Amino acid sequence: MQSTAQSSKLPISMQRIIPLRSDHLRRYWQLWVWGIILAAVNLPLLHHQVRTGLLFLPEAVRDGEWWRVLTFPLVHLSPYHLLLDAGGFLLLYHYLEEKRVSIRLLYVLCAGVGSLTMAWIAEPSVSERGLAGLSGIAHGMMAISALEMLRRPDQRSWGWGFLALVSGKSVYELWMGTVVFGFLHMGQCGYPIAACHAGGLMGGVLIFGIRQVLYQHDV
């Protein structure tokens, strides 16, 4: 009778665990997908190698390797570079007020386009060294998060503060041609391109503004 009683309790405990796991997956599945993609792309870093075939290189794109335009943000040059970029991006992405995946991906895409365009225009070395990393998109995500805060009276002061911080940092970097605290990276991020931060910021602000104008009834 004792073994029967214990076996009858097992399904109850499992029923308590399974909903918790299901809720976790439901809430964080996007982060899991991004994490898996980033881990797969950067797996060669374990052997001190970089997926150079996914970097943005203008000459390679002109030769037909168009996928580099989409994959360059996923590639990183060292484990430190990956943790720094991915940590900031995933945190900002997760806490976006916008929950629809399609709009979130549109934000990421436009910030990426802005980052790439500005870096390509302002930094000639992109043609030789290439472009990689999520830092430009992360700056766009931070700007969008700040703009979302501005729509809430109780968060408006924080929104202005964050927007001023990321905008001031990006403008300063663009003006000086170097990233803030770049010396702390000790070469683990390659040759940081300051212009991509400003480009990501502008791309994020632009797409957020366009969406506000076109879909005011839906925000």
Residue 41, CA distances (Å) to 94, 157, 193 in order: 21, 39, 21
SS3 131: strand
Q: Which of 25-29, 46-50, 132-136 has the weakest average pLDDT?
A: 25-29
| Buried-exposed string 43-59: b where 16+ CB fall within 10 A, e elsewhere | eebeeeebbeebbbbee
Residue 27, CA distances (Å) to 24, 32, 94, 107, 219 in order: 5, 10, 9, 19, 21
pLDDT at 219 over 60: no
pLDDT given for residue 56 in this prediction:
94
pLDDT given for residue 165 in this prediction:
95
pLDDT given for residue 137 in this prediction:
96
Residue type, 213: V
Residue 146, CA distances (Å) to 8, 153, 156 in order: 52, 13, 9
Residue 187, CA distances (Å) to 78, 96, 137, 194 in order: 9, 31, 21, 15
Residue type, 36: I
Assess contact for 134 and 85: CB atoms under 8 A.
yes
171 Cβ contact partners less than 8 Å away, ≥ 6 residues apart: 198
pLDDT at 37 over 50: yes
Return the domain boundaries, the chain.
42-218
pLDDT at 12 over 70: no
Q: For residue 170, what pLDDT band results from cuts at 50, 70 and 90?
A: very high
pLDDT at 176 over 90: no
Q: Provide the 10 A C-beta neighbour count for residue 42.
A: 22
d(CA 50, CA 70): 17
How confident is the model over 55-91, as pLDDT tens digits?
999 999 999 999 999 999 999 989 999 999 999 999 9
170 Cβ contact partners less than 8 Å away, ≥ 6 residues apart: 139, 197, 198, 201
| DSSP 8-state symbol, 56 | B
How confident is the model over 90-133, as pLDDT tens digits?
999 999 999 899 999 999 999 999 999 999 988 888 888 889 99
Residue type, 95: Y
CATH entry 1.20.1540 includes domain 42-218:
yes
Q: Which residue has the higher pLDDT, 105 or 177?
A: 105
Task: Confirm whether pTM is higher than 0.85.
Answer: no
